[in-house]
A and B are shown apart, each in its own frame.
Chain A
Amino acid sequence: MNRDYPGEVILAVDTSLGTAVALTDDDGARRAEAIAADPLGHAEVIGDLLVRALADAGQGEVSHVVAGMGPGPFTGLRIGIAAARAFALGRGIPVIAVPSHFAAALTALATATGPFAIVTDARRREVAITVFDGADADGIPHVTADTVLVPAVDADAHLDGIRRIDVTELSAVDLARVGALAVAAGRTLAGDEPLYLRHPDVTVPGAPKRVGS
């Protein structure tokens, strides 16, 4: 970790699965964590989880907010991103966008060797899959195949023997760590847009339906 790095405390927020909030030091040491595993109700819990995690974290100015950008069910996913951005706006500090699967991959790297796939539920009988293999020179999980949506029944065939790690809870501590690594390395891991992976579910209307007389 770059010791000249200006940050003190990093706040991470993710609502791609449950609702996860954590604070770490800039060297990745865990300060506080507040989680609601419920895959719904993000809007209801996000405020209290933020308050609790901040209270538990103790002294130190938050210098960066890390936002988990998904993939995840859109409605829930956006709540965390909106909260992260607004929090950062309130403090006048930057938002670091990090794909949520990177956090899960960092968690997995503690025990995994060789290639592995992070697999999360994407609703509609599909799963989101990202394949990683170890970490790169910056310590960031190394992606070998970008995130794709695959029908759940086809996931094993798609992975063709790569070890699959099904994730239902995300570590915001690891999300904060990936964010800190990205800041230290001066890298951007995600754009401004959440990882929607799907177009809005709409069709352009055709001619009006006949009502008959």
Chain B
Amino acid sequence: MSEPLVLGIETSCDETGIGIVRGRTLLSNTIASSMDQHARYGGVVPEVAARAHLEALQPSIDAALAEAGVRLDDLDAIAVTSGPGLAGALMVGVGAAKGLAVSLDKPLYAVNHLVGHIAADILTADSVPLEYPTIALLVSGGHTSLLHVRDLTTDVELLGETMDDAAGEAFDKVARLLSLPYPGGPEIDRAALDGDRDAIRFPRGLSRASDMAKHRYDFSFSGLKTAVARWVERCEADGVEVPVADVAASFREAVVDVLVTKALAACRDLGVPRLLLGGGVIANRRLREVALERAEAAGVTVRIPPLSLCTDNGAMIAALAAELITSGRRASTLAFGADSTLPVTEIQIAEIPLTETQIAEIQIAEAS
């Protein structure tokens, strides 16, 4: 099977993503978002997200099939996110994927969401294929992770991740402090337009020399959020109007600085001159700008998939499964569940074990 036709189901957070790919060709990237329903709460509410997934799944699958111009019978495999993510949200996708796979009698691939973000890059047809190894920085409302990718389907290592809030969450929380609506990322970006990013020197989390031994590639944004809160409170106490533009620009600069600094440090330390960016926060213009500028100075090539493939989506899940299939991996058993803290080293979950006959055949082949 050279070009497997795969339907991917992604429900790890607030987007119901259904993607269809043929090998590395994107046929549909259908997304139904429940973001509007979370706006009044100022952040993603897991139960609200899970309810929305159940409602959106079937119409999204129908829409994806129509867009791709394929029928369910044509599929070679189904893929689904097993984790990491919100447990209750993931389980809706897992239930649906199993129902669909059994119904169609097609193989099912359970895959890792974070590795999916890396796989999104292979769907960009006109660019040269992703080279390995690469450092990957994945930043969203749910995760902030720095990865060392030696091979997409077999060898991904976690270098560091956030110890508290995800970067996207920090944007949401600081937006609230500044009385800006949810989601915070685009609002902070807008507010920061006329701001001076050097106006306030906000702290860079886990960036002191003393942090370097244990947390060289880890992130922390809760101290930054508290620093912004203090600044705002002090303005109020002094009866001064909060300089929203300056606070927004300076806060964003602190986040961007720490993300790019640590990512490029990993490139330098590991001798990997390639950096892949992924996750919804990559939509932040300033982050892309600083990353490109400083990477160029450091001799590092930056890859950024189209934004529609950076945010959570089912196409990246299908793409990862297509790569697994192409590289000869067996399907997953039906016995996996949702794993909200699935480590990034588990690229595929519950691959069907080889039978004794298969093992014997391999041994014979290797001996001859």
Closest chain B residue to A75, Cβ basis: B88
Chain A binding surface, main DSSP class: helix
* A-contacting 9-mer, from B202-210, B315-323, B334-342: B334-342
Residues on A lying within 8 angstroms of B by beta carbon are 13, 15, 41-48, 50-51, 54, 74-75, 78-91, 192-194, 196, 200-205, 208, 210-213
CA A200 to CA B51, docked complex, whole Å: 9
Closest chain B residue to A11, Cβ basis: B103
User: Which residue among A80, A90, A91, A193 has the maximum number of chain B CB atoms within 10 Å of its CB?
Assistant: A90
CA A194 to CA B95, docked complex, whole Å: 15
Closest chain B residue to A81, Cβ basis: B54
- Contact (Cβ within 8 A) B229 A86: no
Q: Which residues 57-79 in B have Cβ within 8 Å of A in the complex?
A: 57-58, 61-62, 72
* A-contacting 9-mer, from B37-45, B113-121, B246-254, B277-285: B37-45
User: Can you report 9 A-B residue pairs in the complex whose CB atoms are below 8 A from each other?
Assistant: A47-B98, A47-B102, A82-B95, A88-B103, A192-B55, A208-B176, A208-B177, A208-B229, A211-B229
- B99 to chain A: which residues have CB within 8 Å? 13, 46-47, 50, 82-87, 90
- Contact (Cβ within 8 A) A89 B48: no
- Contact (Cβ within 8 A) A46 B87: no
- Contact (Cβ within 8 A) B88 A74: yes
CA A54 to CA B98, docked complex, whole Å: 14
Assuming the contacts A75-B87, A89-B61, A200-B48, asked whether A82 and B230 have C-beta atoms less than 8 A apart, the reply is no
- Contact (Cβ within 8 A) A86 B100: yes
- B47 to chain A: which residues have CB within 8 Å? 74, 200-202
- A86 to chain B: which residues have CB within 8 Å? 57-58, 61, 95-100, 103
- A89 to chain B: which residues have CB within 8 Å? 58, 61-62, 72, 100, 103
- B92 to chain A: which residues have CB within 8 Å? 78-79, 82
- Asked whether B20 is an interface residue with its Cβ less than 8 Å from the other chain, the reply is no
CB distance from A90 to the nearest CB of B (A): 3
CA A213 to CA B94, docked complex, whole Å: 46
7 residue pairs, one from A and one from B, having the closest CB atoms: A90-B103, A47-B334, A83-B99, A86-B99, A47-B98, A82-B95, A79-B95
Residues on B lying within 8 angstroms of A by beta carbon are 40-42, 45, 47-48, 50-51, 53-55, 57-58, 61-62, 72, 87-88, 91-104, 108, 176-177, 226, 229-230, 233-234, 334-338
- A211 to chain B: which residues have CB within 8 Å? 226, 229-230, 233
User: Which residue among B88, B91, B103 has the maximum number of chain A CB atoms within 10 Å of its CB?
Assistant: B103
CA A180 to CA B233, docked complex, whole Å: 64
User: Which residue among A48, A83, A84 has the maximum number of chain B CB atoms within 10 Å of its CB?
Assistant: A83
- Contact (Cβ within 8 A) B91 A205: no
- Contact (Cβ within 8 A) B335 A48: yes
CB distance from B6 to the nearest CB of A (A): 15
Closest chain A residue to B228, Cβ basis: A211
Closest chain A residue to B174, Cβ basis: A208
CA A157 to CA B42, docked complex, whole Å: 41
- B97 to chain A: which residues have CB within 8 Å? 86
- Contact (Cβ within 8 A) B96 A83: yes
- A210 to chain B: which residues have CB within 8 Å? 229, 233
CA A205 to CA B179, docked complex, whole Å: 12
- B229 to chain A: which residues have CB within 8 Å? 208, 210-211
User: Which residue among A82, A88, A194, A203 has the maximum number of chain B CB atoms within 10 Å of its CB?
Assistant: A82
- A51 to chain B: which residues have CB within 8 Å? 102, 334
- Contact (Cβ within 8 A) A75 B91: yes
- Contact (Cβ within 8 A) B54 A82: yes
- B336 to chain A: which residues have CB within 8 Å? 44
CA A204 to CA B226, docked complex, whole Å: 21
CB distance from B72 to the nearest CB of A (A): 6
